[in-house]
Amino acid sequence: MRNRLWLAGLGLLALGACATTDASDKKAAADPPPITPTERFSIKVDPAPLELKLGAHDSGLSQNQAESLRDFFGRWSQTDRAPITIKAPEHGPAQAAVYRTATAARDYLIGQGVDPDAVHIVGYEAAGDGAAPVVVGFVRYEAHGPQCGRSWDNLADVYQNREYDEFGCSVTANIAAQIAEPADLLHPRDVDPPDAQRRQTVLDAYRKGSTTSSAKDSQANGAVSSTGQ
């Protein structure tokens, strides 16, 4: 009887070991090791909406509000130019003042160069708040790098010829701190359409067997200096 129990226990241990091994193998397959040491650290990109709150005025935008919108447009133009949403309060301030302020903000942004299709006016519930603002905003992104300097090891311990734990962390953190537009890490920017007229000119020259490059500038001859010649 004892022998049977002992054998049954060994069988259960063997099954448990197989299950643990299988789970470890699946996790290793799902999370492959980084190809290079620097891939152990990554940059996290999070949405960070930028909003400008404008008080509703019967006369539309005030001078201070126009200057704030100018600054808002400048910050928007430095990003990937996401759609701009103008939220107009409902059941709060006088609707005439809300309408004039919201439409004036939209017209101002369009006048600064924003595509009309990229500016949308929507309503939100103000729940009787007479001071509820008109909110102008868009979604931008912030880059967050890794926290470095937490696991320094012995840099003189090189007998295994492996990189140290913090290798690549500072480079990744610096990129996150210096990148101008974090949205570039998520998707490429839109490309302007090609110059169809210039392309046709090059094709015509190619068909004639002529030179397709632009004429060389006489000042771009590559000479260091002609003094004394």
CA dist 118 and 109 (Å) reads 10
At 57, list the tokens.
Answer: 């005025």
User: Residue 22 has what pLDDT?
Assistant: 55
Q: What are the tens digits of pLDDT across the range 10-68?
A: 455 555 555 555 555 555 556 666 667 667 888 999 999 999 999 999 999 999 999 99
Q: Are 183 and 80 in contact (CB under 8 A)?
A: yes
pLDDT of residue 1: 56
* CA 203/CA 67 separation, integer angstroms: 48
Greatest alpha-carbon span in the chain? 111
Name the phi and psi angles at 182, rounded to 5.
Answer: -60, -25
**pTM (two decimals):** 0.61
Domains belonging to the chain, first-starting first, are 44-143 (3.30.1330.60)
Using one digit for the tens of pLDDT, what is the confidence trace for 117-151?
999 999 999 999 999 999 999 999 999 999 888 77
Q: Report residue 109's pLDDT band, with 50, 70 and 90 as the boundaries.
A: very high
Token duo for residue 9: 């226990």
